[in-house]
Amino acid sequence: MSVVNVSEKSIAPRPVSQHRPAPVMVIMAVVFSLLSLIPPAFIVYIGFDTGWETVKALIFRPRVAELLSNTLLLVLVTVPLCVFVGVMLAWLTERTTLAGRRLWSMLAVAPLAIPAFVQSYAWVSAVPSIHGLSAGVFLSVLAYYPFIYLPVAAVLRRLDPTLEDVAASLGTPPLRVFFRIVLPQLRLPVWGGALLVALHLLAEYGLYAMIRFDTFTTAIYDQFQSTFSGPAANMLAGVLALCCLAILTLEGATRGKARYARVGAGAPREQKRWRLNVLFQVLGQMFAFAVILLAFVVPLAVLTRWLWLGGIENWNQANLWMSLQQTLVLAASGAALTLLASVPIAWLSVRHPRPLFRMLEGCNYFTSSLPGIVVALALVTVTIHYARPIYQTEITLFLAYLLMFAPRALINLRAGIAQAPVELENVARSLGKTPATALWSVTLRLAAPGAAAGAALVFLGVCNELTATLLLSPLGTRTLSTGFWALTSEIDYVAAAPYALLMILISLPLTGILYVQSQKLAGL
């Protein structure tokens, strides 16, 4: 590839605001970032307050060793299997002549519309004997492999085939070309997807509770139910937080610094698809069919069976429609509040990219990587001791949603604000507009698509959130997820089916948007 000259304009630093950041924006960003530090500060404080002797007695015991073993085995087995399934499906649908590859690519992301605990509900009701580590790995792969598939498929569509052609011209067999040329270029999407899968495995509660597989999350919830924020639950939360920090550190240390962008004259050539012979065509179809059958068709078939058995009377439950209404209200309110809270941080990080503001932004990313049950446990303890009036109120619940889902809004807001020309904002302020007016009337209007995408992601996260809502919601609050969980806990699978279907119907549109966006990012 030939290296082309780059103009000074193209390498100029990103333009920033000509004005000093508004004090109100800085204060709001600092306040929201300090709130995000409540869970990690709680973990550190509890460790010191409990005392080393008690900490040692609670942590260094067989039960914790068992939970740690279960959790580590779950991550170590599930993540590689998710990588294998995701990369294999992405390669078949994007780089081969697999028949029906467009349809398979759409179906490959469909399991994202099924919450993990609904996936578990379907399989447990179909195969009641399913339980333990093997069941946890099996169901986790079905629920989370799309986190690998989506980014890997998007990167495969954009890869320049020149290096592959050079290797093939030197006599390198196709399989070796894939492992030596293509696979190394997938390191970033694979590592990023693997990080998401690992964090979800640490945070998941409903999936593993249904199959009676003990992890830190299920043990913390059980301890909370029995001792109500006792030291045992707090210590388990601390160990779980350390596991999350270890995974984040490992991913950052192994990501590498290789360059993956193509620099050269002209546009990259169209991707060459590997022609599959009859045998590999059949094997490819069988693999794709098996994955979609297990991850999407079986849960829908089981759900349809329960809906059929329940009949039309099953939809006449008063609690069902109340749960749908409360879910939509909480999700819409949570999305709006999270979006508003994220605006100052996103705006400062783009318009005034100083280390302090980047650090404030980073606080939110770290806290969101903690499992929801750790965030909820921290808020329960803090509100009981220091803010009793807001304990078990909507304020605490919305604060949990803010801490857990702020990055979903931040990432999209940052992208939208970065695409809005800073010059327009500067002109508006030079004409006498206040900083808030200029931000609202100019920048945020241009960043509206990114803001809407962020709000939609937060909306979906709140709709399917289980553990924090179970622990923090006020008395009488019943969302689709908590209502579904209450009924499945009573083994009333027929009555739980409408709740599951409504959650899937709410999730399907966003899943379709994610698929369309991945196609656009690839230039299709």
| 281-323 pLDDT, tens digit each | 999 999 999 999 999 999 999 999 999 998 888 898 888 999 9
Question: Of residues 23 and 388, which shows the higher confidence score?
Answer: 388
Q: Give me the phi and psi of 442, to 5 degrees please.
A: -115, -65
Indicate if 485 and 515 belong to the same structural domain: no
CA 453 to chain centre: 14
Rounded to whole angstroms, the Cα distance separating 380 from 199 reads: 22
Does position 432 have pLDDT exceeding 70, yes or no?
A: no
Quote the Cα angle for 404-77-467, to 5°. 25
Question: Of residues 282 and 189, which shows the higher confidence score?
Answer: 282
Q: What is the pTM of this model?
A: 0.83
Q: Among residues 78, 87, 104, which one has the least CA distance to residue 288?
A: 104
Query: Is 214 part of a structural domain of the chain?
Result: yes
Indicate if 275 and 419 belong to the same structural domain: no
Question: Of residues 72 and 50, which shows the higher confidence score?
Answer: 72
Indicate if 216 and 359 belong to the same structural domain: no
Indicate if 175 and 47 belong to the same structural domain: yes
Residues ≥6 apart with Cβ < 8 Å to 69: none
Residues ≥6 apart with Cβ < 8 Å to 51: none
Amino acid 160: pLDDT: 63
Indicate if 133 and 177 belong to the same structural domain: yes
Indicate if 460 and 518 belong to the same structural domain: no
Amino acid 434: pLDDT: 64
Per the CB < 8 A criterion, the answer to whether 157 and 94 are in contact is: yes
Residues ≥6 apart with Cβ < 8 Å to 417: 346, 347, 350, 351, 443, 444, 447, 450
Give the SS3 label for residue 9.
coil
Question: Of residues 369 and 107, which shows the higher confidence score?
Answer: 107
Q: In 311-421, which residue ranges form alpha helices assigned H by DSSP?
A: 318-351, 355-368, 372-386, 394-419
Query: Is 301 part of a structural domain of the chain?
Result: no
Indicate if 161 and 113 belong to the same structural domain: yes
Indicate if 363 and 472 belong to the same structural domain: yes
Question: Of residues 390 and 235, which shows the higher confidence score?
Answer: 390
| Domain total in the chain | 2
Indicate if 277 and 146 belong to the same structural domain: yes
Rounded to whole angstroms, the Cα distance separating 83 from 141 reads: 9
Amino acid 15: pLDDT: 52
What is the average pLDDT value for the chain, to the nearest integer? 82
Amino acid 10: pLDDT: 39
Query: Is 30 part of a structural domain of the chain?
Result: no
Amino acid 5: pLDDT: 42
CATH number at residue 373: 1.10.3720.10
Residues ≥6 apart with Cβ < 8 Å to 44: none
Residue 6: pLDDT band with limits 50, 70, 90:
very low
Rounded to whole angstroms, the Cα distance separating 403 from 368 reads: 6
**What are the pLDDT digits (tens) for 470-484?**
989 898 889 999 999
Q: Among residues 188, 214, 242, which one has the least CA distance to residue 136?
A: 214
Rounded to whole angstroms, the Cα distance separating 475 from 11 reads: 56
Q: From residue 522, how far is each of 94, 107, 156 by CA, in Å?
A: 11, 18, 9
Parent domain of 184: 36-255+271-287+511-524
Indicate if 347 and 278 belong to the same structural domain: no
**What are the pLDDT digits (tens) for 71-99?**
999 999 999 999 999 999 998 998 888 89
Amino acid 320: pLDDT: 92
Rounded to whole angstroms, the Cα distance separating 197 from 143 reads: 9
Query: Is 141 part of a structural domain of the chain?
Result: yes
State the DSSP code for 11.
T
Residue 227: pLDDT band with limits 50, 70, 90:
low
Query: Is 229 part of a structural domain of the chain?
Result: yes
Query: Is 28 part of a structural domain of the chain?
Result: no
Q: Among residues 118, 103, 513, 511, which one has the least CA distance to residue 298?
A: 118
Query: Is 326 part of a structural domain of the chain?
Result: yes
Indicate if 143 and 245 belong to the same structural domain: yes
Question: Of residues 469 and 196, which shows the higher confidence score?
Answer: 469
Query: Is 482 part of a structural domain of the chain?
Result: yes
Question: Of residues 310 and 179, which shows the higher confidence score?
Answer: 310
Amino acid 509: pLDDT: 85
Indicate if 93 and 234 belong to the same structural domain: yes
